[in-house]
Structure 1
Amino acid sequence: MGEGWQAVDDYIVDHLLGTDDALAATLANNRANGLPPIDVSAAQGKMLFLLAQLAGAKHILEIGTLGGYSTIWLARALPADGELVTLELDPHHAAVARENLERAGVSDKVDIRIGPAAQSLAALAGAPFDFVFIDADKEGNAHYVAEAIRLGRSGTTIIVDNVVREGGVLDADSDDERIIGTRALFEMLAADQRLDATAVQTVGAKKWDGFVLARVR
């Protein structure tokens, strides 16, 4: 079945996205620099782009830059005077991302901040973020969503990636910190009255996973 998922993703990309030299170069540069191949898929990247545009986002926060693949999609959704702040723990990843953002022509809209996300989030202030994409260490997801609420406003859109984990989210006895963190996220979402939220399962190039879609009330 996994081969079928990939084939359908390829069909979607061929018909609805086409080729994109900057994004292809980003993935190639990531591989050449030893970054893990855990970027969102092309179809998911286009979804982020469209969701950010639908939200009318002018200020975007991304938690987890990696090599900047999703960052490029989100930056492209911004208006001319928009800004994206992206947080990355690893200085090497951030350096590769800077190269990719420059090549894609969006570096002027992006502020990369290096260090533990919790510390970077605590230091953020200013205009509220309209759109937040969270794709970092899963152990911190509940905290990152709480910070997204604090740094957002009524109507802020929050997306959290990798929340199904091929069904692992159902395993209450798991000792996998990523699953423990994901389950803690769902408990937080269920209890926090400041959010309207759902989660959607996905299959495709990234196998079986899913994402949370939430809106600050």
Structure 2
Amino acid sequence: MSQQTWTAVDDYFNNALLPADPVLDGARALSAREGLPDIAVAPNQGRLLHMIARIHGARRILEVGTLGGYSTIWLARALPQDGTLISLEVDPHHAEVARANLKSAGLEGRAEVRVGRAVDSLAALAQERPEPFDFVFIDADKPSNADYLQWALQLSRPGTVIVVDNVVRDGKVIDPNSADSSVQGVRRLVDVMADEPRLTATAVQTTGVKGYDGFIFAIVES
């Protein structure tokens, strides 16, 4: 199968099942105008994250990697009125765009974007001793995935769902000798998860408009 076919299939399902959404379309458009890389989750993937958070009844969501706030909007919309989302972004310009998109979505009171290296922001967040998060979405620099997971565990509770994006890397994840730091970051993450008794996890491969990739889904057991 080709990328053309994968994209056409995504387009078919998206056109049938995802109605037009000016807010989300506007978030993508502003991100493009502001020069942000086109690496946000696809619409059907955003809907999937939204549905998982809703099914789980998440009240508190942590996102590592904001970009322009596209996935942030999907996740924040899944929250109840008293819900809270904290998203971490290293690039101040990306954070500025994300905040503008969240404001346009009417979610600025529910979703907070913090700027800085995620490992530093996570350490600072842990110092605040917040109420545990119910759902964690990790979609930032892949070499730091294992570090993000360790902090996510500290900030979670039994039953917390953790989703990590971009773990298949066009199939390159199976190469133990890869010189790609992102591939090695995913492999370190998998090793940590495999050895972590507090987690039950699985990986799902995906094809679509974003190419060949996949997610890891995990549940915190204790």
TM-score class, shorter-chain normalisation, is over 0.9
- Indicate the residue corresponding to 2:111 in structure 1: 110
- Indicate the residue corresponding to 2:69 in structure 1: 68
- 2:23 corresponds to 1:22: yes
- Indicate the residue corresponding to 1:179 in structure 2: 183
Look up the SS of the partner of 1:199 in the other structure.
strand
Aligned pairs (5 A) from 1:5-84: 5-84=6-85
- 2:137 corresponds to 1:137: no
Q: For residues 30-83 of structure 1, what are the alpha-carbon distances to aligned partners after superposition, in whole Å with 9 as ceiling and x for unaligned?
A: 010000000000000000000001111000000000000000000000000000
Q: Which runs of 5 or more structure 1 residues have no equivalent in the other structure? A: none
The letter of the residue matching 2:219 is: R
The letter of the residue matching 1:151 is: L
- Indicate the residue corresponding to 2:165 in structure 1: 161
TM-score by length of 2: 0.97
Measured in 2, the distance between the counterparts of 1:165 and 1:23 equals 26
The letter of the residue matching 2:208 is: G
RMSD: 0.6
- Indicate the residue corresponding to 2:95 in structure 1: 94
- Percent of aligned positions that are identical: 53
- 2:197 corresponds to 1:193: yes
Q: For residues 92-132 of structure 1, what are the alpha-carbon distances to aligned partners after superposition, in whole Å with 9 as ceiling and x for unaligned?
A: 00000011111111111011110000010011121000000
- 2:151 corresponds to 1:147: yes
In the alignment of these two chains, the number of paired residues is: 217
State the 1:29 CA deviation. Answer: 0.4
The letter of the residue matching 1:77 is: A
Look up the SS of the partner of 1:208 in the other structure.
strand
Measured in 1, the distance between the counterparts of 2:12 and 2:85 equals 30
The letter of the residue matching 1:27 is: R
Look up the SS of the partner of 2:122 in the other structure.
helix
Measured in 2, the distance between the counterparts of 1:11 and 1:133 equals 26
The letter of the residue matching 2:187 is: R
Measured in 2, the distance between the counterparts of 1:142 and 1:54 equals 26
Q: For residues 3-23 of structure 1, what are the alpha-carbon distances to aligned partners after superposition, in whole Å with 9 as ceiling and x for unaligned?
A: 111011111111111110001
- Indicate the residue corresponding to 2:213 in structure 1: 209
TM-score by length of 1: 0.99
The letter of the residue matching 2:123 is: A
Look up the SS of the partner of 2:208 in the other structure.
coil
The letter of the residue matching 1:114 is: V
